[in-house]
Amino acid sequence: MTSPALDPTRYARHLSLPGIGLEGQERLRASSVLIVGLGGLGCPASLYLAAAGIGRLGLADFDTIDTSNLQRQVLYTERDVGKRKIDRAAKALHVRNRELTLDRIPEGLTPDNAVDLIRGYDLVLDGTDNFATRYLINDAAALAGVPVVSASLFQFECQVAVFAPSAGGPCYRCLFPDMPAPGEVPNCAEAGVFGALCGVAGSMQAMEAIKWITGAGEPLLGFLLTVDALSHRHHRVRVGRDPGCALCGADPTITEIRAERYRFVCDPFPGEKPEIPPREARALADALFVDVREPWEWDLVRLPDAVHLPLGEVARRKNELPRDRPLVVYCHAGIRSLRAVEGLRAAGFSRAVSLQGGIDRWAVELDQNLPRY
């Protein structure tokens, strides 16, 4: 006689999962996953986990939905713009699994709540887009003894891995010991990403979570999987645990969560900045607008009468710019332009300023006919 707990009629829509079966489905139903970040990764990952029959999901996100999110954050529609991600995500996920228990964490993951929050789940899925939170998740999960399914994205490339020192594998710091210094990496709003690749990476995260919970196959523990979407080349690189790791090594120095370690670094220029808001920039007499974005961005949308000088070429071609006119330098969201202005001012262009918020803010405030991306 079939056990009531494993009644096949209850799991009929899941029985096609290869290598899992009723016992694996029961493990899914009894398991919990904390998803930190309901963006391009967290959206597809949560959809597939809900559809697979996971019993409980924690949704940690403080953000609201913006129009520019919609090309990659597939839980939301145009009607959701301006609303909280956790609320709209919860509604979409309940439609797919009415038995799913959902925990809403509207403050997101913070140094104050990280360890205790993570300790309440079987697995953490990192769907974040900034290094500060990524290192916070890694450190808190290692201290709590909970595995992390990690993914990162950059334009047409993604990386996926499972970090679990408690299971003998490495942590994120074994690969990347220290957080990048401000300005060393593109801003999380600046780098851009191929929307469909978010679906690929998020689905891989869901798959790794299901494998880990059910014991199916070989998880990416001790491996880093890289995917180049343009060539569809996949590489699986073995990653060893670092005995000298500050978190999980033989003599760790990180033994607690301290807020100063996780300062948000998407803005690499704290303090007063040489920038100008869009309305003031438009009114600036005789100003030359300088676009420092990549060619594909320039082809997508640009400001009238601007000149194109990609960031990587500014130092070499700066003498092509006039020194007797105000220069309004812009990019997508106002971070690359600040780096360009810093270099220009050091070279004597004292009237160079960055367009605050970039062309994206210009489109919102001054010209809503401009495409946003």
pLDDT for 332-365, tens place per residue?
A: 989 899 989 999 999 999 999 999 999 999 999 9
- Tell me which H or E stretch contains 161: strand 157-163
DSSP at 349: -
Q: Which one of 43, 171, 248, 331 is the catalytic residue? A: 331
Q: Which one of 158, 174, 188, 245 is the catalytic residue? A: 188
Cβ burial, residue 251 (10 Å; 0-12/13-18/19+): exposed
41: which residues sit within 8 A by CB, 6+ positions away? Answer: 125, 126, 127, 128, 151, 153, 198, 201, 202, 205
Question: What's the CATH architecture for 275-365?
Answer: 3-Layer(aba) Sandwich (3.40)
| Predicted local confidence at residue 226, as pLDDT | 93
For residue 158, indicate whether it is catalytic. no
Segments of the chain assigned to CATH 3.40.250.10: 275-365
Segments of the chain assigned to CATH 3.40.50.720: 10-262
**What are 123's strand-pairing partners?**
33
For residue 171, indicate whether it is catalytic. no
So what CATH class is 10-262? alpha beta
Q: CB-side exposure of 13: number of CA atoms within 13 Å?
A: 6
Cα 139 from chain centroid? 17
Total length of the chain: 373
Residue pair 249/287 in contact by the 8 Å Cβ criterion? no
CA–CA separation, 347 vs 307, rounded Å?
19
For residue 120, give the amino acid letter.
G
pTM: 0.73
| Predicted local confidence at residue 4, as pLDDT | 44
| Predicted local confidence at residue 141, as pLDDT | 98
Average pLDDT score over the chain: 89
pLDDT tens string 261-305: 987 644 445 556 799 999 999 999 899 999 999 998 899 999 999
